[in-house]
Amino acid sequence: MYHIVGLILFTALIISVYQPELENNRTLLFVFIAMLFVMAAIRLEIGTDYPTYNTFFENVKPFSLHPDYSSGFQHYEPLFQYSTAILKHVIDSPIFFFSLWAFISLVFLWKGILDQSPNYLLSIFIYYCLIYINYTYNGIRQGVAMTIFIFSLKYILAKKLLPVLALTLFAVLIHSSGFLILAAYFMSFTNFKNRLIIFLVLLAAFITWQIGTGEALFLFIMEKIGVVTPDIVMYVKLFLEPHTLVQVLQRVLILIPLVWLYPRLSSDEKYRRLFSIYIWGTIIYLTFGFFSMFITRINMFFRVLEIILIPMLYEKIPSRSQKMVVNYLVMIWGFIVLTWVYYKEAYYPFKTIFGDIL
């Protein structure tokens, strides 16, 4: 199921090499977004967080204006919590709940791709392989915040602080990672002068992780902002594992073309500012590499920029044959990433309200 959908997206991408007008075909993008929505809407017990979100929906108390009202789930962000509580008055179906948040996430993604991507098909293929399953079926709230981030790029690039603040607030009320939208706004003003500076900064971040300074810095920051609570301490103890070699190697392989072509593309202010945000995400990823699961969640917020940056690189490729090679390399990379789902009972077989699909 997962790779069949990937092949459908990839086939359209290959055809677009010979029919370039398909690259930015709005109708085709809409059809693919709709396809991903249907997959999310009909899924049943798919995703490691599915039981948690299902329990939340089943047990959240319908909203009331009574002064003693409590949803029963105060640890969730307010907008996510209370919008669900209000909807419980209208419909009491988990299918509707999961469909609604998938719809919200994919609408922001659709608009963000339309606004920023020079190649809609390549963007949606990369999103599907790298982001969709983990952040539509699993980390639902962060997935919505990430697509709001993609939508917010037009305001970040236009240097419009007030809309960025408004979207940050909206995202934070759904998932706390939404504050990274505002952080990205300021990160975008960083100007990495050349490849040597980028290399030295990334090397310094890697060394900071390896010598333990990153861990000490992380705990210091947590203490200063008052976030060290028993829950955080427990989370650290349970998930305190460093990045694996494969994880770091994947990041390096993605970075190579982005950094190598930086001198050629940095004259484009849009690429330069998006790349600056992306590099800051990588710096965070490497500096705090001792805490892989937590930092990877933060890092993925910035990695979603790959659905814009990689198509921007792709558009600079002059020949059709070179584009074909790049498309196949991206396909191999994406399909390898997708294989993890077959080793997780929470994702495979693909269960739906109509039955299992292999």
- Report how far residue 318's alpha carbon sits from residue 324's, in angstroms, rounded to the nearest whole number: 11
pLDDT for residue 264 = 84
| CA angle 260–266–268, rounded 5-degree value | 135
Among residues 120, 160, 147, the alpha carbon closest in space to that of 312 is found at 120
Q: Is the dihedral of CA 280, 49, 120, 310 positive or negative?
A: positive
pLDDT digits (tens, 9 = 90+) for 342-356: 888 888 888 888 877
Lowest mean pLDDT among 230-234, 317-321, 343-347: 230-234
**One-letter amino acid identity for 290?**
F
Packing angle, helices 306-314 and 140-157, rounded to 10: 50
Amino acid at 338: L
Quickly state the pLDDT bin for 224 (edges 50, 70, 90). Answer: low
Quick one: average pLDDT of 88-107? 90
The 10s digit of each residue's pLDDT in 248-259 is 787 888 888 888
| pLDDT band at residue 36 using 50, 70 and 90 as cut-offs | very high
Q: What is the pLDDT of residue 188?
A: 95
The DSSP secondary-structure symbol of 343 reads: G
- The interaxial angle of helices 269-287 and 245-260, nearest 10 deg, is 160
**Who wins on pLDDT, 246 or 198?**
198
Higher-pLDDT residue of 132, 254: 132
Choose between 7 and 355: higher pLDDT.
7
| Secondary structure of residue 158 in the 3-state scheme | coil
Shortest CA distance to 271 belongs to which of 283, 262, 280, 260?
A: 262
* Number of folded domains that form the chain: 1
CB 169 within 8 A of CB 75: no
- Whether the ω angle into residue 94 lies within 30 degrees of 0, i.e. cis, is no
Residue 175's contacts (CB-CB under 8 Å, 6 or more residues apart) are 77, 80, 141, 142, 144, 145
Confidence class for position 98, pLDDT limits 50, 70, 90: very high
Phi–psi pair at 276, nearest 5 degrees: -60, -45
Helix, strand or coil, per DSSP, at residue 228: coil
User: Among 38-42, 53-57, 120-124, 151-155, whose mean pLDDT is lowest?
Assistant: 53-57
Res. 299: pLDDT tops 90: no
Q: What percent of the chain has pLDDT over 90?
A: 51
Arithmetic mean of pLDDT, 25-52: 93
- Top pLDDT among 170 and 285 is at 170
| Domain coverage including residue 117 | 2-357
Which position has the higher pLDDT, 241 or 167? 167
In which band, very low, low, confident or very high, does the pLDDT at 91 lie, cut at 50, 70 and 90? confident
pLDDT at 278: 94
Q: In this predicted structure, what is the pLDDT of residue 226?
A: 55
Rg of the chain over all Cα atoms, to the nearest angstrom: 21
Crossing angle between the packed helical segments 179-187 and 269-287, to the nearest 10 degrees? 120
Give the residue-averaged pLDDT of 48-63: 88
The pLDDT value given to residue 108: 97
What is the reported pLDDT for 40?
93
How would you class 314 by CB atoms within 10 Å of its CB: exposed for 0-12, middle for 13-18, buried for 19 or more?
Answer: buried
Report the range of poorest mean pLDDT among 131-135, 171-175, 288-292, 325-329: 288-292
| The pLDDT value given to residue 193 | 83
Digit-coded pLDDT (tens) for 175-220: 988 999 999 999 999 988 888 999 999 999 889 888 878 777 777 7
Mean pLDDT of 119-144: 94
Q: What is the average pLDDT value for the chain, to the nearest integer?
A: 88
Q: Please indicate, yes or no, whether the overall pTM of this predicted structure exceeds 0.85.
A: yes
Task: Flag whether pLDDT at 107 surpasses 90.
Answer: yes
Give residue 232's pLDDT.
Answer: 55
Look at residue 335 and tell me whether its pLDDT is greater than 90: yes
71/85 Cα distance (integer angstroms)? 7
How far apart are the C-alpha atoms of 129 and 121, rounded to whole Å? 12
